[in-house]
Amino acid sequence: MAVAARSIQRTRWIKLQVFRYVVFLLAAIFFLVPLGAMVEFSTRANDGSRTLDYWKAIPSYPDLTGAIAASLQLAVITSIVMLVLLVPTMVWVRLKLPRLTRIIEFMSLLPLTIPAIVLVVGLFPMYIWLNNNLSDSILTLSLAYVVLVLPYCYRAIDAGLGAIDVKTLTEAARSLGASWFTVMWRVIVPNISNAILNATLLSVALVLGEYTIANNLLYNNLQVELVHLARDNAGVSIAVAVAALLFAFALLVVLAFVGGRPRRVHDEPATALAGPLAASQT
Amino acid sequence: MTVAGSPAVTTNVGRPFLGGRRFSLDWVGAVPYLAYVGLFLILPSVIIGIGALLDANNAFTLDNFRNLSRSYVVKATIDTTVLSAITAFLGAVFGALLAYAIVTGSPNGILRRLTISASGVLAQFGGVTLAFAFIASIGPAGFVYLFAQAHGFDFYKQDLWLFEIPGLDLVYLYFQIPLMVLVFLPALDGIKPQWREAAESLGGNTWHYWRHVAGPLLFPAFLGSVLLLFANAFSAYATANALINQGQPVLAQQIAGALSSEVGAYEPGFAKAIAIEMIIIVTLVTVLYTLLQRRTARWL
């Protein structure tokens, strides 16, 4: 009896392992082939041999290099505005305005439920006004991008602040005569540096991949330009897409290693990544 | 907004730089954030809500909503719903299988950590790059297609379906499956091995266990995940627009079309009405999802 039970267990275990490795193999094929194909496509010459011509041609498209520069600037501006807006507010709310916690959380997470294409419709008249009265620079896009990255950055910073005792640290610093600026800059920020890095990298990755808002507000950021260029020269376009992807991947590796421990994003996947988040990207 | 009585204020140890502190000015600290969000999140929402009810001369009208019955909008709504339903269901099934393959392995194994991290990245990997990835692989010049064609399997013999809705069905799975892994894994992790042992000690076989124990427990979570994936696909725009530039088959493209004067007429009020249609559908689905999540939380 015991032997029979064990052999049933054994058969089941083998079946399970076969099932698991078939699933992993199929998943690996489905997810890796398209990525590899981009590298292959961007290095294939017309006669089928390998070439780096597409990669070398990148600098010879001024519209493209301009769009790359614009997207990088947008990423930097968006991250800075986001941090300046979010970190002091969240610290202040924790210390002085606990009643506002729910409101701030709700407002910060709200963009997850609003598809980017819907947000664009509301922003459209605002940007017409902005173009006519203040500036028609592509960098004004960062005003909208801050809203786009808000939910992800809110969660990252909230996790960071939750892990330290903000109140005690602040009271200690204040009782020693520190100004509020000193408290923020020399006490809070160094203690949540991981969370700040996390939030910054997330917002950089999101901004570099953003297409919906820029395209419909008629700005040529990196992704919009890639689509334009793909109609003339798909090879160069895909080469730049690969480069952008590798850059984003490098950021994520930095994220995983600088922290030194598994990030919250992965600890709470259901809440961290739920919601129609792809609205911003897809 | 009066915070004078809140505990944080009364126990505040900071220097009393405002004297009495009965009437606190603490709320001023939240003003920049609230003003920013009000300007770039709330105001756009208000603009959509009001603008949908206005015609070109800013007079009240319901025409924008009546125009939702235009045949091409109805068709786009149906097509997008079907597309979202198919990719949500298939994504959920494949994602659940992948999640099951993960949980049956070692809880701290490299395979588990790798798959979850990759899912976190791929669930967000949408847009232009995703469209490129599929064009480069199975597009008419992609190596997979060229290989298949050279071996007598020309899957574009009938038509170039990659650049039509069936193409989106396939491409959307690329971010739907990882999203499913992320949202379904916690539910699977909640299944206790003791339950299976209990079922076996009562004489149940594998089928009984899945039919009467694990199945009913996981079903709300599964259904909830399908809804989340549906909302995710329904609001997607960039991938569809990068892949399909003929005919705007997806509802999000119809919104964009009504906003621009490139295709058809510039109808900002109409764009707002379609936006409201979309947000109603997405909100409805999201609310159902939240309710199902609560039901799941009871057991798992």
Q: Which chain A residues are closer than 8 Å to B34 by Cβ?
A: 107
Q: Please tell me whether residues B15 and B67 are part of one structural domain.
A: no
B residues 54-83 lying closer than 8 A (beta carbon) to A: none
Instruction: Collect all residues of chain A within an 8 Å Cβ-Cβ radius of residue B123.
Output: 273, 277-278
The pLDDT of residue A270: 38
List B residues 271-300 in contact with A (Cβ-Cβ < 8 A).
271-272, 275, 278-279, 282-283, 286
pLDDT at A259: 57
HSE-CB of A178 using CA atoms within 13 angstroms: 17
**B122 to A31: CB separation less than 8 angstroms, yes or no:** yes
- Let me know whether B83 and B42 are in one domain: no
A252 interface with B at CB cutoff 8 Å: yes
> Is B181 found in the same domain as B94?
yes
**Structural domains in chain A?**
62-281 (1.10.3720.10)
A92/B126 Cβ within 8 A: no
Tell me the average pLDDT across B103-120: 85
Q: Are residues B191 and B163 part of one domain?
A: yes
Q: What is the pLDDT of residue A22?
A: 95
What is the value of ipTM here, to two decimals?
0.83
B115 in A contact zone (CB under 8 Å): yes
Q: Can you give the pLDDT at residue A269?
A: 38
* Residue B116 and residue B225 in one domain: yes
Residue-by-residue pLDDT tens, chain A, 282 positions: 566 667 777 888 898 899 999 999 999 999 999 999 999 999 998 888 888 989 999 999 999 999 999 999 999 999 999 999 999 999 999 998 988 999 999 999 999 889 999 999 999 999 999 999 998 899 999 999 999 999 999 999 999 999 999 999 999 999 999 999 999 999 999 999 989 998 998 899 889 999 999 999 999 999 999 999 998 888 999 999 999 888 888 887 777 676 554 444 444 433 333 333 333 444
CA A75 to chain centre: 10
Is pLDDT larger for residue B121 or for residue A76? A76
Q: Are residues B220 and B265 in the same domain?
A: yes
Clarify whether residues B135 and B206 are in a common domain. yes
Instruction: Please check whether residue B158 lies inside any domain of the structure.
Output: yes
Instruction: State the pLDDT at residue B5.
Output: 42
With respect to residue B126, please indicate whether it lies within any of the assigned structural domains.
yes
Q: Residues 25..54 of A with a Cβ closer than 8 Å to B: which?
A: 27, 30-31, 33-38, 40-42, 44
CATH of the domain at B124: 1.10.3720.10
Give A 103-142 residues with CB within 8 A of chain B.
Answer: 104, 107-108, 110-111, 113-126
Give the pLDDT mean for B157-186. 92
Option in A23, A212, A256 nearest B97 (CB): A23
DSSP structure string for A42-103:
HTB-TTS-B--HHHHTGGG-HHHHHHHHHHHHHHHHHHHHHHHHHHHHHHHHHHT-GGGHHH
pLDDT at B22 over 60: no
Query: Residue B112's domain spans which residues?
Result: 63-297
Model-level pTM?
0.85
Q: What per-residue string of b and e applies to B147-161 under the rule 16 or more CB within 10 Å gives b?
A: eeeeeeeeeeeeeee
What is the pLDDT, as a whole number, of residue A212? 94
Between A85 and B56, residue with greater pLDDT: A85
Contact B237 A116 (CB under 8 A): yes
Which residue in B has a C-alpha nearest to residue A25's C-alpha?
B98
For residues B88 and B31, membership in a common domain is answered with no
Residue B182 and residue B208 in one domain: yes
Q: What is the dihedral of CA B282, B286, B292, B297, to 10 degrees?
A: 160
Token duo for residue B105:
């392995």
B88 and B223 share one domain: yes
- Total structural domains in chain B? 2
A79 inside 8 A of chain B by CB: no
B45 CB within 8 Å of a chain A CB:
yes
Residues B22 and B145 occupy one common structural domain:
no
| Beta carbons within 10 angstroms of residue A25's beta carbon | 10
Query: Is residue B58 included in any domain, yes or no?
Result: no
Judging by beta carbons within 10 Å of its beta carbon (0-12, 13-18, 19+), is residue B103 exposed, middle or buried?
A: middle
Question: Does residue B270 lie in a domain region?
Answer: yes
One domain for residues B22 and B85: no
User: Is B2 domain-assigned?
Assistant: no
B188 shares contact with chain A (CB less than 8 Å): no
Give the rounded percent of residues in chain B with a pLDDT score beyond 90: 48
Q: Confidence band (pLDDT; 50, 70, 90) for B44?
A: very high
